[in-house]
Each structure stands twice: as structure tokens, then as C-alpha cells.
Amino acid sequence: METTLIILKPDAVQRCLIGRIISRFEDKGLQVVGAKMMRISQQLAATHYESHKGKKFYDGLVRFMTSQPVVVLAVRGMGAIEISRKMMGATFGSKAEPGTIRGDFGVSNSFNLIHGSDSPESAKRELGLFFGPGEVVEYQRHLDHWIYDMSGKTPE
């Protein structure tokens, strides 16, 4: 099982899409194991997006991410990172396929609704930035045997 960070960005929050987006992850079979609404500080945004520092879009991105509340999620499941990235769709809403979050809800190339970790290393780093000890909860879902085939040695 993998756990990944998902951020519902200020545009998703302002457009009242929180429930609809979270439902997509749950409908897919992924488990929400952490959730909170917060305002991202300048320092946290700078740390989170440090790999983009110096790029043309960096200042605008930090300004946007700190402008209004966001919802941060810890989402768990087998292949959660890759599955979440596919569910989000292409970075720019204008290029995202219908059926994806960005494809169904976005048209802007600036406001793209959602962030998701792009690798296990990024997920570990990002989860540590946004969630403190005890804020990501381990719990057994009784329906997992209906989501994953548990008949073998490893779930699939």
C-alpha cells in the first residue's frame, strides 16, 4: 500500500468541488487516511515548491497557493500515486481528458485544481510537510476485500 499527498488547491475550494473530488478517490477504492483544511504559509509554500524556485511561474504559484484555503489529503491504496495522477489528468485543464478531475472541472492553464505527489519519494517528503505525527491515521477498512483480490499472497 502507498500513501500519497493530494492538495485541493484554492480554485477547487472556492468552486465548492471538495466533496465531488474526494468522492472520486473514494469511489475508485482509495482510502482517505488524513484530511484537513488549511491556509498554506509563505514558508510552507516555498518549501513545498522549492524545486521550482527560479522558474518563471514560481512567484505566481506561491502567491496562488497561499491566497485562500486548501484541503490536504493523505490517500492510501495499492498504486495510489499512479492511480491518483491518472485521475487528476494532464496538468493543464485545457488539455486534460474528459473523465479526469482536471478534464471535467477545469479549462484554465493556471488554475488546475489539484496537486498530487509524483513519486514515492515526493509523497514521503510532501506528507511530512503537511501532516504531523498522528494526523495520518492507520485503520482497517472492512471492504478492502471487495476492492482488492486478497486470494493470493499479496493483494491485487
Residue ranges of domains in the chain: 2-79+112-132
The answer as to CATH 3.30.70.141 being correct for domain 2-79+112-132 is yes
Q: What is the pTM of this model?
A: 0.94
In tens, the pLDDT along 98-143 reads 999 999 999 888 899 999 999 999 999 999 999 999 999 999 998 8
- For cell 484537513, name the residue: 36
**How buried is residue 44: exposed, middle or buried, by Cβ count under 10 Å (0-12/13-18/19+)?**
middle
The separation between CA 92 and the C-alpha centre of its own chain, rounded to angstroms, equals: 16
Catalytic residues: 115
pLDDT of residue 83: 98
